[in-house]
Amino acid sequence: MKMIRAFIRPEKEQEVVLALEGAGFPSVTKMPVFGRGKQKGLQVGPVHYDELPKTLLMIVVDDDDEKKVIDLIQAKAKTGFIGDGKIFVSPVDNAYTVRTGETGL
Amino acid sequence: MKEITAIIRRDKLPETKKALEELGYPSLTIQSVDGRGKQKGAMCAEMDSEMPESFCTSAKLKPTPSTYALEHTLPKVALYVPKRLLTIIVPDDVVTKLVKSMISVNRTGKHGDGKIFVSPIENALRVRTGEQNGEAIA
């Protein structure tokens, strides 16, 4: 299994989540985060924003679905401008459902 | 080393903390997150374990102003349930023990009890002393 962490624009979150739901991946955890990237924030006239608000989506999927989910997030979260976000993938050994105690997603 | 990421009900947090403390692993990171699972966040049982039934029906009938506004600009709105996300870094050999204990504490038998993920961690470093790996989390 893989854990996909996607840092996306907050306004794109609904679109991405609904697209994932449509593709059969309804389970998502989201949290608001603040961060900056290569551009060290954002300069608007005299005002410099060091940290910008983003939404972090956390999704755990089977290995086979990894590419599909990443492609979907990228397609929906893309605007073509700086600040679209990043996607990170990390391995997950095991998943447990608390209600049943079963392993697997 | 393994990272245990547990997404649990809000009201089960004190009990989970106590259970982990009793097993000798009191260190943890807590985050407030919103999540949805296979039921797509719509089920009332996903909220707190002791939620009265009347709250569920009234909450469903009366959407919050923000939800209402979103429903009129989007064809469909994704619903979320507030949850607590715990992150614990522990040695390999105690993972099963901790996961079992967390499952037994958090289980209510209703949808929304949460998920627990176990993933590998390559290195750990204690900032104060510079200790690495196992020593850093001991």
- Give B57→chain A minimum CA distance, Å: 23
- Give B106→chain A minimum CA distance, Å: 7
Question: What ipTM was reported for this prediction?
Answer: 0.86
**C-alpha to C-alpha distance for B42 and B37, rounded to whole angstroms:** 9
Q: Could you tell me which residues come within 8 angstroms of residue A22 by beta carbon, excluding any fewer than 6 positions away?
A: none
Q: Residue A23 domain-assigned?
A: yes
Residue A27's domain comprises 1-35
Residue A101 CB neighbours (<10 A): 14
Report how many domains make up chain A: 1
In three-state secondary structure terms, B136 is helix
Q: Residue A27 domain-assigned?
A: yes
Residue B61 pLDDT: 45
Whole-Å CA distances, B28 to A104, B16, B89, B95, B121: 24, 11, 8, 14, 15
Q: Is B104 exposed, middle or buried (0-12, 13-18, 19+ CB in 10 A)?
A: exposed
Sheet holding B115-120, edge to edge: A86-91, A2-8, A52-61, A28-35, B29-36, B81-90, B2-8, B115-120, A94-97
Inter-chain CB proximity B120 and A14 less than 8 Å? no
Q: Residue A15 domain-assigned?
A: yes
Nearest to A93 among B40, B112, B119 (CB): B119
Per-residue pLDDT of chain A (105 residues), as tens digits, is 999 999 999 999 999 998 998 899 999 999 999 999 888 888 889 999 999 999 999 999 999 999 999 999 999 999 999 889 999 999 999 999 999 988 988
CB pairs under 8 A between A and B: 88
Q: Residue A1 domain-assigned?
A: yes
Nearest to B119 among A13, A17, A90 (CB): A90
Q: Residue A86 domain-assigned?
A: no
Q: Determine contact: B13 vs chain A, CB below 8 A.
A: no
- Chain A residue numbers touching B7 (CB-CB < 8 A): 29
Residue of A nearest to B45 (CA): A99
Task: Judge whether residue B129 has pLDDT over 80.
Answer: yes
Q: Residue A22 domain-assigned?
A: yes
Q: Determine contact: A42 vs chain B, CB below 8 A.
A: no
- Give A45→chain B minimum CA distance, Å: 32
Q: Residue A88 domain-assigned?
A: no
Q: Could you tell me which residues come within 8 angstroms of residue B20 by beta carbon, excluding any fewer than 6 positions away?
A: B26, B28, B88, B98, B101, B102
Give the tens place of pLDDT for each residue, B3-54.
999 999 999 999 999 999 999 999 999 999 998 888 877 666 566 666 655 5
- What is the rounded average pLDDT for all residues in chain A? 92
Residue B121 pLDDT: 93
What domains can you pick out in chain B, each with its CATH number? 2-137 (3.30.70.120)
- Give B134→chain A minimum CA distance, Å: 19
Answer whether B88's CB lies under 8 Å from B98's CB: yes
- Partners of A31 in the β-ladder: A56
Q: Could you tell me which residues come within 8 angstroms of residue B34 by beta carbon, excluding any fewer than 6 positions away?
A: A29, A30, A31, B80, B81, B82, B83
Residue B22 CB neighbours (<10 A): 10
Give the tens place of pLDDT for each residue, B58-101.
555 444 555 555 555 555 677 888 899 999 999 999 999 999 99
Residue A101 pLDDT: 87
Residue of B nearest to A18 (CA): B78
Q: Residue A28 domain-assigned?
A: yes
